[in-house]
A and B are shown apart, each in its own frame.
Chain A
Amino acid sequence: MNGEELTEQETALYDRQIRVWGADAQRRLSKSHILVYGMKGTVAEFCKNIVLAGVGSVTLVDDREVTEEALSANFLILPDENLYHGKTLAEVCCDSLKEFNPMVHVSVEKGDISTFGVEFFGKFDAVVISCCSLAKKKLINQKCRKLSKRVAFYTVDCRGSCGEIFVDLKDYKYSKKKLEETVECQLEFPSFEDTISVPWKALPKRVSKLYFAMRVIEQFEDAEGRNPGETSIADLPGVLKLRKELCETNSVNESQIPDALLERLLMDTSEYPPVCAIIGGILGQEVIKAISGKGDPLKNFFFFDAMDGKGLIEDISEPKPVS
C-alpha cells in the first residue's frame, strides 16, 4: 500500500493539479527522479515547477560560485552574502527549493558532469541540462541514450529575449485523450547529434530562423573554445563569417539567418526574467508529461522570441521516406 496510493496529505495538496492530469499521473510523478545541470534563472524556474508538481527527487549539479549575475534572474538565491558565502550555486538553490515542497527530495551532486558515467544517468527518469557547450550536450545525450531504460533528455538555453528547448525521448510510447477515448501513441525522437546534423536544405522552408541562428552561435562558441554565453558584439564579424560558411555548406540562403537576430543573440547573453518564466514553464510541463506518459510531447525543439511573442515547436528530423 505504501507508495501506491496517494496519501491524504498529497491528495489535499495536489487537488487542483490532480484535476488536470489525474491521480495516476500524480503517483508516477512522486516516484520520479530528475537530474538538473546549470542553475541559471530558467532552470530555477523549471525546478520550482517540478518541485511544486511533486516529483520524487531533484538532483542539482552546478559547482560554480554565486555571483552578482547569478542573482539577477534567479529568485532562489537570496542576496545575503552570509547565506551564500562558500556555497555553490547548486547548494544555495537546493536550500530554497526544499521549502517549496517538503515532500520532494532535493539534493546536490558535486563534480564535473562530463565525467559522470552512464550508470549515474541511469538513476534518473529525466535529465535537464543548461549552459552546456555543443560537445557537452552531445556527450550527455549519448550517455542517456546508451541506457536501456528510457531517460528523457532536455537541453534548455535562454539568451536575452530568446529561449530554446530541445527534447529527446528516444522511443516514446504514451497515451492521450482523443474526444472521449484514450489513444495509445508512439514517437521516435532523434538524438541531439542526429538532429543538428539534418541538412538545412532538407528542412521545411518555414523553420524558425532562431533554430539556425542558435546553431551558428553554438558552433561559433565551440570553435572558439568559449563557455556558453561568452560572446559580445565584437564577435559579430566572426559569426557572420561562420554563417556564410554554414549556409554555403548547406546550400541555403544567408537571409535565412538575419544579421539582426545574430546581433541580438551575441549581445544579450544574460537571461531575461519573463523569458525564464515562460521557458521554465514550458519545460516543466514537458517533463511532467513525459514522466506521466500522458499527452503529446513537444517534438523536438521549442523556440520563443519575446520580439514577436511566438512560442513555436519545430520538428527537426530526417524527412521520412515516402512509403
Chain B
Amino acid sequence: MSSEEQLSAIKGAKVLMVGAGGIGCELLKTLALSGFQDIHIIDMDTIEVSNLNRQFLFRQSHVGQSKAKVARDVVLRFRPNISITPYHANVKESRFNVDFYKEFDVVLNGLDNLDARRHVNRLCLAADVPLVESGTTGFLGQVTVHLKGKTECYECQPKPAPKTYPVCTITSTPSKFVHCIVWAKDLLFAKLFGDKNLENDLNVRSSDATNLSEHSEDVFECRKGEDIEQYGRRIYDHVFGHNIEVALSNEETWKNRNRPRPIYSKDVFPDKLTKENGKTEKGSATDDVSAMASLGLKNPQDIWSLAENSRVFYESLRLFFLKRQKEIGNLTFDKDDQLAVEFVTAAANIRASSFGIPLHSLFEAKGIAGNIVHAVATTNAIIAGLIVIEAIKILKKDSNSYRMTYCLEHPSKKLLLMPVEPYEPNKSCYVCSETPLSLEVNTHHSKLRDFVEKIVKAKLGMNFPVIMSGASIIYEIGEDLEEDMVAIYAANLERALSELPSPVISGTVLTIEDLQQEFSCRINIKHREEFDEEREPDGMLLSGWVEAPVDKNNNKSIGNGESTSSVLSMEEIQEGEKDVEIQETSESAENVTGKKRKLSEVSKGTIPDHSGLPDESSRNQNQLEKLDVDDEDDELIISNDWESLTKKKRL
C-alpha cells in the first residue's frame, strides 16, 4: 500500500469534499493522515452542540462557527503543511459549476440530504469526475463509487422519497403516533403560530360543508377580552373536544375503526391553572423559555400523563403568548426550539390519548417531529476509512478493485463490512443514460405550473430548469431574464398545457434542461382524460424509470419533512436488520447484457417508521433472491463487472 506510485497519486491529487459534518470530520482527518495535500471542502452549516458527540474536530467554544472553516483550522494543526480550502457555502450555489468540478480528481460526499446529493451527482456526471458517495445512520453505513459510463450514477437506483401520509389520516383517522405528531406540528402549531395566510387542513371535514362558515379562522384567533387561560381552554376544547365530536358524527368513518374519545379541559382541569404557574421565571431570556422548566418536569425521557401533557399544552401556549408574542404569525417548527417541541409533544400526546395511541416522551417526540437521525462517531469513522480506500483506488485508476461497501450492524455470512462490485449504469436512468421519460397528463386541464412544481422541480430535482417544446422556450427560471420574458413565463404558468403559445399536446416532446447541473432530459407527452383522484392525485403520471414504490393510499398527502438521514439505499438492504443477505441471481436472464441489478425491484426504501411499530409491508417486500456462491471461491462476488459476462474468480 505504500508504493511509490500510490504515494505520488495521492500527493498530486486535488480532492473535493462536500460536507464537513459527521462523515466530513472523520474523512478530512483520514485524508490528511493518508498524505493528501490539496483538499477543498464545502459546507453551509454552523456548529451545534448536538454535533459534538461525533464531529470531533469541533469544541464547545466553536458552536456557531462555520464547520468547513473550523474543520480546516483544526486539521492544519496536526498537518500544517497541506492545503485545505474551506467554503462556507451551499453546494447548490452557481459558482460551484461544471468548471469548478472539473478541477478535481475525485469528489467525496458526506451529505445529509437527497437534494444536494442529486445535485452533486449531476455535476460530477457533467464534469466527468468520479464521485464517492456515502451515508450513515446509527450503526449502519455505506460507501458507493460512481464513474460516468462505467458504473451506476447516484440516481440510477431510485432513492425513496420522504414518507408522506394521506391527509385524511392526519386530520381524521390517525392510527400511529407519527400521525399525531404531523397533526400537531404541521396543522395545529402552524395554525396557531405560523403564517395565517397559508392553507391549513385543520378544519377540513370531508362531508360537512355547512359547518365551515362557523368554524372559520376566528376560532383560532384570540377574542376580545379573553385571557390566556380562557383562550387556551377554548383551543383545547375545540381541537380535542369539539372537532372529535364532529368527526364521530360521521358513522361511516368509524365502521371499522376504534372511535376516538373527545377530551375537554374541564375533565382534565376542573380548577384554574394560572395559580400553579406563579413561580414562572421573570426576565428569563427567550431561549430559556420552557414549559417543562416552569412546571418542574425535569426528564425529557419521561412519558407524561394526559394531565401532564395538558399542562404542558397550556403552559407552552401561554409562554408563547407571554414571552414570544412578536414571533407569533411567523413561526415554523424548529426541533431546536424547546418551547415548540414541548407544545407539539403535548398536543400530539393528547390527540394520541384520544385515539388510543400510546403516548411518547418529549425525547421520542422530538426525534420524530424533527426527523432527527441517530448518529455515533464510530460508524462515521469506519465509513471515512472506506471512502479513502476507494478514493485512492480511483486515483490509481485501479478500476477492477472499486467496491461499494456496506457496514452492517449484524453480520451477514460473517461479514460486518461487505464489499460488492459496482453495477453497470442503468440504461433507463434518465439522468446518466439520457433515456426519455413519458408523462401522461390531461393537457387540457393541467396547467404548466403543476408540471413545473410537481414534475420538474419535485420529481426531476431541477433548480433552474429551461423547458422547451421544439425550438421555443415555454418556461425558464434564471437570474438574468428580461422583464418581458418573465411576464410571458408567468402567464404561461397559469395556462393549461394545450393552450400554451406553443401547445403541449399528445405527442409533444419536451426538453428540459438545468444549465447549472448541465443536465437535460426529454419527456414524451401523452394525453389522458381521466385520472384516479385517490391514486393519482396530481393528475399526472411520469414513467420511464424504475420508481420507488409509493404508499398505495397516498392521496393528497402530507409529509413529515425530509429526514436528514444519509442512509437511503441502505433501507433496501437493512430493512428489519435481520440476517439479510445481499444476493442476486447469478443469471440475470431478462437482461440482454446480463448486468442489470435486481435489487432495484426490491426497493421499498422508507425512512424508518419512528412510531416503533414494525412496518410489515416493507419487510415482506424485501424478498431477496439467492446467490449462487461458488464454494471454491473465497470471495463473495455479487455481480459481474462491466468488462466480462463471466463471473470473476479472485485470488
- Contacting B77 at CB < 8 Å: which of A12, A78, A209, A308? A78
* Interface membership of A190, Cβ < 8 A: no
**Complex partner residue of B375 from A16, A284, A314, CB under 8 angstroms:** A16
A161-B52 contact in complex given A20-B139, A310-B415, C-beta closer than 8 Å: no
A272-B415 CB under 8 A given contacts A11-B300, A277-B381, A281-B379 = no
Cβ of A212 to closest chain B Cβ, rounded Å: 13
Interface pair A312/B54, CB less than 8 Å apart? no
Q: Give the CA-CA distance A101 to B79 in the complex, in Å.
A: 22
CB neighbours (8 Å) of A306 from chain B are: 1, 389
Asked if B96 is an interface residue, CB under 8 A from chain A, the answer is no
- In the bound complex, what is the Cα–Cα distance between A313 and B491 (angstroms)? 64
A234 contacts partner chain B, Cβ-Cβ < 8 Å = no
Could you say which residues of chain B place their CB within 8 Å of the CB of A310? 415, 417-419, 635-636
Closest residue of B by beta carbon distance from A72:
B33
Q: Is the CB of A75 within 8 A of B385?
A: no
Once the chains are docked, how many angstroms separate the CA of A100 from the CA of B375? 17
User: In residues 1-39 of chain A, which contact B (Cβ within 8 Å)?
Assistant: 5, 11-21, 23
Report if B9 contacts A (CB, 8 A).
Answer: no
- The reply to whether the CB of A311 lies closer than 8 angstroms to some CB of chain B is yes
Bound complex: CA of A53 vs CA of B414, how far in Å?
26
- Which residue of A209, A284, A304, A313 contacts B378 across the interface (Cβ within 8 Å)? A284
Report yes or no: B417 in contact with A281, Cβ–Cβ below 8 A: no
0 or 1 for each of B51-65: is its CB under 8 Å from A? (1 = yes): 011101001100000
A273 to B31, CA, bound (A): 8
Pair B78/A20 contact, Cβ less than 8 Å: no
The answer to the question of B29 belonging to the interface, with a C-beta cut-off of 8 Å to chain A, is yes
Query: Which of A99, A276, A312 makes the CB contact (< 8 A) with B414?
Result: A312
Q: Are A304 and B381 in contact (CB under 8 A)?
A: no
Which stretch, A44-52, A125-133, A148-156, A167-175, touches the partner chain B? A44-52
Taken residue by residue from 292 to 310, chain A's Cβ proximity to chain B (1 for < 8 Å, 0 otherwise) reads as: 0000101000101010111
Q: Does A79 belong to the interface (CB within 8 Å)?
A: yes
Contact B29 A312 (CB under 8 A): no
Instruction: Specify the chain B residue showing the minimal Cβ separation from A209.
Output: B634
In the assembled complex, B34 has its CB within 8 A of some CB on chain A:
yes
Q: Interface-forming stretch among B366-374, B508-516, B546-554, B597-605?
A: B366-374
Rounded to whole angstroms, the CA-CA distance of A218 and B114 in the bound complex is 47
Contact B378 A281 (CB under 8 A): yes
Interface: A285 (CB within 8 A):
yes
Q: How many residues of B contact A (CB 8 A)?
A: 62
* Given contact pairs A19-B367, A314-B414, A274 touches B386 in the complex (Cβ within 8 A): yes
Chain A, residues 253-269, CB within 8 Å of chain B (1/0): the string is 00000101000000010
Q: Is A179 an interface residue (CB 8 A)?
A: yes
User: A73 interface residue, CB < 8 Å from B?
Assistant: yes
Once the chains are docked, how many angstroms separate the CA of A312 from the CA of B411?
8
- The answer to whether B29 and A75 have CB atoms under 8 Å apart is yes
B385 partner, pick from A100, A160, A281, beta carbons under 8 A: A281
B636 proximity list for chain A (CB < 8 A): 310
The answer, yes or no, to whether B650 is at the interface (CB within 8 Å) is: yes
Q: Does A229 contact B (CB under 8 A)?
A: no
- Docked complex Cα distance between A309 and B400 (Å): 13
Within 8 A of A (CB), among B378-413: 378-382, 384-386, 388-389, 392, 403, 405, 407, 410-411
Q: Does B80 contact A (CB under 8 A)?
A: yes
Cβ–Cβ contact A52 & B414, under 8 A = no
Q: Complex: how many Å from CA A18 to CA B373? A: 11
Residue A180, interface by CB 8 Å? yes
| Among A13, A19, A76, A268, contact of B2 (Cβ-Cβ < 8 Å) | A268
Which of A16, A21, A99, A284 touches B373 (beta carbons < 8 Å)? A16
CB distance B30 to A277 under 8 Å?
Answer: yes
Interface centre among A18, A23, A277, A282 (most CB of B within 10 A): A277
The reply to whether the CB of B246 lies closer than 8 angstroms to some CB of chain A is no
Does B211 reach chain A (CB closer than 8 Å)? no
Distance to closest chain B CB from A291 (angstroms): 13
- B374–A276 CB distance below 8 A: no
Instruction: Indicate if the CB atoms of A75 and B78 lie closer than 8 Å.
Output: yes
- Once A16-B374, A20-B139, A79-B80 are accepted as A-B contacts, the answer to whether A280 and B414 lie under 8 Å apart by CB is no
9 smallest CB-CB distances across A and B, nearest first, come from A311-B417, A277-B385, A309-B419, A19-B374, A281-B382, A273-B33, A278-B385, A281-B381, A274-B385
Q: List 5 A-B contacts (CB under 8 A).
A: A17-B376, A49-B381, A273-B385, A281-B379, A311-B415
